[in-house]
Structure 1
Amino acid sequence: MALEAVQFHPMDYEAFDDNLVPIAQFLLRLRQFGIMDRRMVDAFEAIPRQPFQPLDAKRSPLFNERPQPIDCGQLDTPPLLAARIIEALAPTTRCRVLDVGTGTGYLAAVLSRLSRRVYTVDRFRTLVSAAQSRFEMLRIANITAVFGDGLDGWPEKGPFDRIVSSASAPAVPPAFVEALSTNGTLVMPIGPDEGIQTLTRFIRVDRQLVATPICPVRMVPLIKGRAARL
């Protein structure tokens, strides 16, 4: 598929008013999961969901709780799971965040409201380009997105106070440990490529990681290198 065929076009999402009722329902779901942090609620309210919804899924619920297919054969991170990730990440306005696996850019956009700066990397050039268009359309200025190998941890911009990976690995990649600041927090799924993984929070103490399991998930695996196509 040509790159131009999957570019994001802001005119496809001119009417954000339809977002009002779904966001209220979503915030109620957050409360049911015990997520009531005011800063997080404000961040989700501030970022419209529609621009980040796959074009072929516009008839699906805006806040679908199941992963939805996106370009490049990938899956998005459902908003409810994004909320659980952010709750575990606990970013502050002083934090520099590394987001591995840009996807549609929705997680990075919400994090941008809670952090000083977000750096997001994806192995698919198409996804990065489309996410950048969304960030520009929404006038989000504190996100830097790049096409690259997320497994490298973006050492030029490190260390990071928070790291989040939307893709899984059997163990924490060494580059993530090196990129994480002392007392920093990493959240990512740990487990086999196929089957159930455990979304886990890690806090770096000296050069060791202290792990806390959060919940079972099923997410795509981290893959080394940049994608040769797309």
Structure 2
Amino acid sequence: MGDQERAEYLARQGIQDRRVLEAIAHLRRAEFVPEQERARAGADTPLSIGQGQTISQPYIVALMTQALRLEGHERVLEIGTGSGYQTAVLAQLCREVFTVELLPDLSRTAQGLLTRLGFQDIAYRVGDGTRGWPEEAPFDAILATAAPEEVPAALVAQLTRGGRMVIPVGPAYGSQELLRIHRGPPGTLPRVEHLLPVRFVPMVETTPL
């Protein structure tokens, strides 16, 4: 499946945000996976990128991005740079992306690729994703590509009022749910929507919060 064909396939699967579909059509997924996986890059399936990490299937990338409801002016925090594919989708749809990756080699490789592809408004950080990026907060939207067992309070606190976060939550070897969390006015609890069951690699906390 080519990348334009993938966008058309995703539209048939219910992805309705035209900007998301166009962003995916503009990327070659094969560039974001190791050479031994490139023959499978056209499939709508997760693929290994090494070090126990994966690139999500395109449908999930599209669904999570669509769920953020980006309009183009937002500052977005991504937890889990991984291959850089989700980062590249976000960077086409918002003003600025701040992306945090725990594994230095993955961060370095993704930064090199995204720079070569011409992406500029992306800031990179190696560190514990459960802590977010407090020095750059608040963010209009947060997207996580790894699953904590519970929603990290630090990430919710780094949302703007009215901001939203899309995050998989659940145990590494159990049931996980993709959530959309809306941060409301002061004095109110965040509103949580359950989107669908998912399976993601665990979000690793390296230092206690």
**Gap regions ≥5 residues in structure 1:** 1-20
- Which residue in 2 is equivalent to 1:168? 147
Query: In 2, are the aligned partners of 1:89 and 1:186 still within 8 Å (CA)?
Result: yes
1:24 is aligned to 2:4: yes
Q: How does 1:129-144 map to 2 (within 5 A)?
A: 129-144=108-123
Partner Cα separation in structure 2 for residue 68 and residue 45 of structure 1: 19
- Which residue in 2 is equivalent to 1:59? 39
Partner Cα separation in structure 2 for residue 75 and residue 50 of structure 1: 13
Q: How does 1:22-171 map to 2 (within 5 A)?
A: 22-60=2-40, 62-171=41-150
Query: In 2, are the aligned partners of 1:63 and 1:79 still within 8 Å (CA)?
Result: no
Q: CA deviation at 1:88?
A: 0.6
- Which residue in 2 is equivalent to 1:225? 206
TM-score, structure 2 normalization: 0.93
Query: In 2, are the aligned partners of 1:72 and 1:126 still within 8 Å (CA)?
Result: no
- Which residue in 2 is equivalent to 1:15? none
TM-score, structure 1 normalization: 0.85
Q: How does 1:189-228 map to 2 (within 5 A)?
A: 189-206=168-185, 207-225=188-206
**Gap regions ≥5 residues in structure 2:** none
Partner Cα separation in structure 1 for residue 191 and residue 169 of structure 2: 14
| Letter of the structure 1 residue corresponding to residue 11 of structure 2 | R
Paired-residue identity, %: 35
Q: CA RMSD in A?
A: 1.4
Q: Which one scores higher on RCO, CA 8 angstroms, separation ≥ 6?
A: 1
Secondary structure in 1 aligned to 2:2?
Answer: helix
| Letter of the structure 2 residue corresponding to residue 58 of structure 1 | R
Secondary structure in 1 aligned to 2:71?
Answer: coil
Equivalent pairs, count: 205
Partner Cα separation in structure 1 for residue 174 and residue 36 of structure 2: 26
Residues 29-79 of structure 1, C-alpha deviations (whole Å, 9 max, x = no match): 21222213221122112222221122220221x233222111222112121
| Letter of the structure 2 residue corresponding to residue 134 of structure 1 | L
Query: In 2, are the aligned partners of 1:102 and 1:127 still within 8 Å (CA)?
Result: yes
